[in-house]
């Protein structure tokens, strides 16, 4: 969240994640670089610095909230399940993490208010996401289900990633993946369906039903030739 009177120093630039677990760190790095312009207190902000500060390869959303707050950036954390989400207990993806991380994650939630991390127990609707990102006042890191994620640009950029996406799409369990949302655009107009005749034999065009918003990937400028990540 932008502090009052504080503008983001630069647009969001893509940062490539370096391992299969650090999408949250890459997402955090994008936000921090955008907010401070690449340096914090005279030192470059890098992925090694993200790993040093986070100090775990089992990254939860509360880890990211504390990490970004540690760079003096206002943070609001919206969640429908403060603490450990009980539904993760049935997921093979989270089983090992739950055994080792429960105490640490619980302590991070307990210390959030003291550290300046504002936690709100509620959903974030798509229309609100669109409003928050519309004027550049907020940047969002969102936890999504990787099994439902479709990214043609990512598939074209990395055959290995394409294989991973296909592998994950075949599973029915939730697999978390952090992404940075920089904007939400209204959907393009639907083409009219084939004409249908009414009771009087007159053809009337019918249109497919529309939805208030669709989420579209909006390409950010690449930073030094780096690819997408996080």
Q: Which pLDDT value is given to residue 60?
A: 92
In whole angstroms, give the CA distance from residue 146 to residue 133. Answer: 22
Query: What pLDDT is stored for residue 218 in this prediction?
Result: 35
What are residue 30's phi and psi, to 5 degrees? -60, -45
For residues 66 and 12, the model is more confident at 66
Q: What are the extents of the domains in the chain?
A: 23-204
Residue 99 has pLDDT above 80, yes or no: no
Both tokens assigned to 220: 């950010």
Could you read off the pLDDT of 24-66 as tens digits, one per residue?
Answer: 999 999 999 999 987 898 888 999 999 999 999 999 999 999 9
Percent of the chain at pLDDT exceeding 70: 62
- Nearest partner of 23 among 60, 70, 66, judged by Cα: 60
Average pLDDT, the chain: 75
Is residue 151 within 8 A of residue 217, CB to CB? The reply is yes
Structure tokens at 54: 């986070």
Tens digits of per-residue pLDDT, 124-171? 998 898 888 887 778 899 998 887 777 666 666 666 666 666 666 666
Mean pLDDT in residue range 189-204: 53
Stretch 91-108: mean pLDDT: 81
pLDDT, position 204: 46
Instruction: Provide the pLDDT for residue 212.
Output: 40
């Amino acid at each position: 969240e932008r502090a009052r009177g504080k503008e983001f120093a630069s647009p969001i630039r893509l940062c490539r994640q370096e391992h299969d677990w650090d999408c949250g760190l890459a997402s955090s790095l994008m936000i921090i670089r955008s907010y401070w312009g690449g340096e914090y207190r005279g030192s470059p902000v890098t992925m090694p610095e993200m790993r040093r500060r986070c100090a775990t390869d089992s990254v939860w959303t509360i880890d990211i909230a504390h990490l970004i707050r540690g760079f003096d950036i206002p943070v609001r954390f919206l969640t429908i399940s403060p603490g450990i989400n009980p539904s993760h207990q049935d997921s093979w993806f989270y089983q090992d993490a739950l055994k080792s991380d429960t105490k640490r994650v619980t302590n991070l939630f307990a210390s959030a208010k003291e550290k300046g991390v504002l936690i709100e127990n509620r959903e974030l609707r798509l229309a609100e996401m669109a409003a928050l990102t519309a004027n550049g006042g907020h940047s969002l890191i969102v936890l999504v289900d990787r099994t439902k994620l479709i990214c043609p640009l990512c598939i074209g950029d990395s055959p290995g990633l394409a294989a991973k996406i296909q592998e994950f799409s075949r599973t029915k369990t939730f697999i978390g993946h952090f992404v940075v949302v920089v904007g939400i655009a209204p959907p393009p107009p639907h083409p009219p369906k084939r004409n249908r005749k009414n009771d009087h034999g007159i053809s009337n065009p019918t249109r497919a039903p529309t939805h208030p918003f669709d989420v579209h990937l909006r390409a950010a400028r690449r930073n030094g030739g780096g690819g997408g990540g996080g």
